[in-house]
Structure 1
């Protein structure tokens, strides 16, 4: 018998263990990552059990009294599932989940898709479920991704800049502290170019690194011992993702970023399936200058979609479920 309820703090260990062994998740769904910004988001995560065993989890937060989202404070969302779950059973889980939310007078879910290339095994059952539910597509973006096992060559400019950086003696190092990069490169650049600040404060990124030291990594480029460029990488099982990328004027002119990413792509993360440069959108508008820069490294597009799901549409799944499951649920 499937049981659905809201997440409780006492579920933390079971949740985190489940995230580690599911087929469509990364460390971003761990509670220590989600809860670092709990002051910004009113958590509305949901757990699904079968015979007291956790079989699905929805990382989510409230938008208003009738709307939740999965999860706008993260790079992606999803309904997290066990590796061995099959299509019809997943449709049943979605059915019970939406019925539960409807009983709480939640009428709508803003649902971010999980990025397909992060999956450990095929996991598009939820996407098929969205189709059956007549979910409405309300946002489509792209992320720029390099297939590390079948790479497209860099452009001539990227290779030339990398060689220039090598000739100048620029060094790339992994560091365990974020102060230098945040204070000398990232914050000044974002302030000057966009009048903005990093999503994570220095204190927050340090706290997250302390919780996930193997997943959150900082790489800096130096000239004569002075930092001139850097990048913060979120590493998961199959993917290395660029969370922050920035260089000062000397870093841009010297080819420091070209050397930095060449080393990450060709050496540090060459064993991964993908290198994810993330999106190139400013306020939902494509930044083609940024996109073109990523594509010169051989990155190409994956689409990432956000849907609106009406919880009342759970009934549309009834014809796709085993008869006995529907009867138990009524």
Structure 2
């Protein structure tokens, strides 16, 4: 009933058009986003056809005998047609597992798409994973503000906002990713975590140029100096904070509180959700309590993102599940 094809450049337009019309796809699945790091991953993305019509897609990469629902993306799994029904998704997932098994793939790892990014309810794949005896391997906690509900910002955050006002700070949208990276983000990550940003300044600059409506940099300007900044990945339903960084004096100056108060209460007040992202470490097993507390002080509350591992031979478990 369903046939599977590996993605190739000949499917570029069809792939992107499907993502734009799907019920759970975002700009992260556009090929122009996925392929900025194509040198780091062996692409193994799949298209699922019913006749000549695409009904689902799986952004993915392969490492040995394992396929990942793409390690270079924040979330993934099956991207679904808006009209597809649950029974059809079960058959689609079975076809995907069977195809992977025939290709010598032993394990499929999937990081789910948090529900706040769905344009319509789209958790059919999670049910299919349950039926295929998938193993939950990781669970991250996201701090999310639902803007349809009243937001109460904690007094200690408002103290920071008052400090920012007293210091004459302003928030501006900037295109100078290089300056934010070099002056604030890279030093902070290196000094505090011995780490580097996932995206280089060159990569994020190119991506922002390709997706100007989706990738935005906001900085706190202090007389020409960057006191704080953040990158927002914006989808139709969510404003997601991808990077959050400020100078060591942020507690004294209120720079970060000032920035996020503006984003939450003004710039993105009409966005359905504001997602601060995760506060987890060690594959979800540790919680950075201070970071989580700061996000929750803005009124954010917890949603989860699950990660699964499923054996491809388990496609046989999806036989005879419909009654």
- The TM-score normalised by the length of structure 1 is 0.95
Q: Which residue of 1 aligns with 2:170?
A: 171
The residue aligned with 2:122 is 123
Deviation at 1:173, TM superposition (A): 0.3
Q: Aligned equivalents of 1:267 and 1:152: distance in 2?
A: 12
| Partners of 1:92 and 1:321 within 8 A in 2 | no
**How far 1:49 sits from its partner (Å)?**
1.0
1:59-208 → structure 2 map (5 Å cutoff) = 59-64=59-64, 66-208=65-207
**The residue matched to 2:320 in structure 1 has which SS?**
helix
Distance apart, 1:148 and its partner CA: 1.4
1:315 corresponds to: 316
Cα distance in 2 for partners of 1:8, 1:222 equals 44
In structure 1, stretches of 5+ residues that fail to align are 323-330
Residue 67 of structure 1, CA deviation: 0.9
Residues of 1 paired with 2:177 and 2:140: CA distance?
Answer: 29
2:220 alignment partner, SS class: strand
Is this contact kept in 2: 1:22–1:82, CA < 8 A? Answer: yes
Tell me, in whole angstroms, the C-alpha distance in 2 between the residues paired with 1:226 and 1:128: 50
Q: Aligned pairs, how many?
A: 321
Distance in structure 1 (CA, Å) of the matches to 2:282 and 2:309 = 19
Q: CA RMSD in A?
A: 1.2
User: 2:15 aligns to what?
Assistant: 15
Contact 1:175 1:220 in 2 (8 A): yes
The equivalent of 1:302 in structure 2 is 303
What is the CA-CA distance between 1:84 and the residue it aligns to? 0.7
Distance 2:147 2:251 in 1: 24
- 1:111-169: CA deviations, max 9, x gaps? 11111111011111111111111111111111111111214311101011102211221
- Work out whether 1:54 is the aligned partner of 2:54: yes
CA distance in 2, matches of 1:112, 1:56: 16
| Distance in 1, Cα, partners of 2:299 & 2:218 | 20
Q: How far apart are the structure 1 equivalents of 2:278 and 2:10?
A: 35
Paired residues of 2:36 and 2:203 also in contact (CA < 8 A) = yes
2-side partners of 1:228 and 1:249: how far apart?
A: 9
Q: TM-score, normalised by structure 2?
A: 0.97
Residue aligning to 2:4: 4
Off by >3 Å, runs of 4+ in structure 1: none
Q: CA deviation at 1:321?
A: 4.7
